[in-house]
Amino acid sequence: MTDLPALAVDRLPAHAADGPPPRFLLLYGSARPGSFSHLLAEEVARLLRHLGGETRLFDPATLPPPGSPPGDAATAELHAAALWSDAQFWCSPENYGTVSAVLKHQLDSCPPVVEGRPLFGGKPLATAQVCGAGPSFNTTMALATIGRWLGMFVTPSLVCVPQVQTQFEGGRLKASPFYDQLVDLAEELFKVTVALRAGRGALLDRYSKRA
């Protein structure tokens, strides 16, 4: 039995990527168990694994409160996962027209560079949001702005799942145009990651950084 019941698998074959499987870190913007941003991130992770990638989802509930002393295990785990990743996916509920504090706290817990290696720079990023009411792209655009500020390559697709409480059944996103858009986003992120991975070092080699 497929783990992707809403997917027409014959229309989305696995990709034969050169080298090791591309690695994806997925962040979501709620610490509430069973949150819709978490469920949406899990849907994207399944699609990326189907395409041939490896995935890690970080649990934001493990992070200490903002302003805590540095050096805790959860923050180190987040840094390690960001370094491990070739690309990232961020999903947040829209809270008062923008990114949730939970997702912003995860990003604020990460410096741009750890041990001389960028956590975000030069990596592809896809963004999505969930809304309890009508559609909006405020949060996806805010996440894209953060990603660009960090030097990431933000993919063109932006996904919003409105009235999200009606779009899931049994913890899974139902077959719908919103699901199709999510598949497009995952496929786009996978393809961009494969295309850019080999040249990431060259993309980070810039005139202003050379001695």
pLDDT single digits (tens) 119-145? 999 999 999 999 998 888 999 999 999
What is the reported pLDDT for 203?
80
Alpha helices in 6-72 (DSSP H): 36-51
Q: Indicate whether 1 belongs to any domain.
A: no
- Position 2 pLDDT exceeds 60: no
What is the reported pLDDT for 1?
33
- Position 211 pLDDT exceeds 80: no
What is the reported pLDDT for 17?
63
Number of domains observed in the structure of the chain: 1
Residues 6+ apart with CB under 8 A from 88: 24, 25, 26, 27, 82, 120, 123, 124, 125, 126, 152
Q: Indicate whether 129 belongs to any domain.
A: yes
Give 74-120 pLDDT, tens digit per residue.
999 999 999 999 999 999 999 999 999 999 999 999 999 998 899 99
Q: Indicate whether 68 belongs to any domain.
A: no
Q: Indicate whether 97 belongs to any domain.
A: yes
Q: In this prediction, what percent of the chain has a pLDDT beyond 90?
A: 74
Q: Domain limits at 173?
A: 23-60+75-196
Q: What is the CATH number of the domain that holds 133?
A: 3.40.50.360
Q: Indicate whether 7 belongs to any domain.
A: no
The chain-wide mean pLDDT, for the chain, equals 92
Exposure on the CB side of residue 200, measured as CA atoms within 13 A: 22
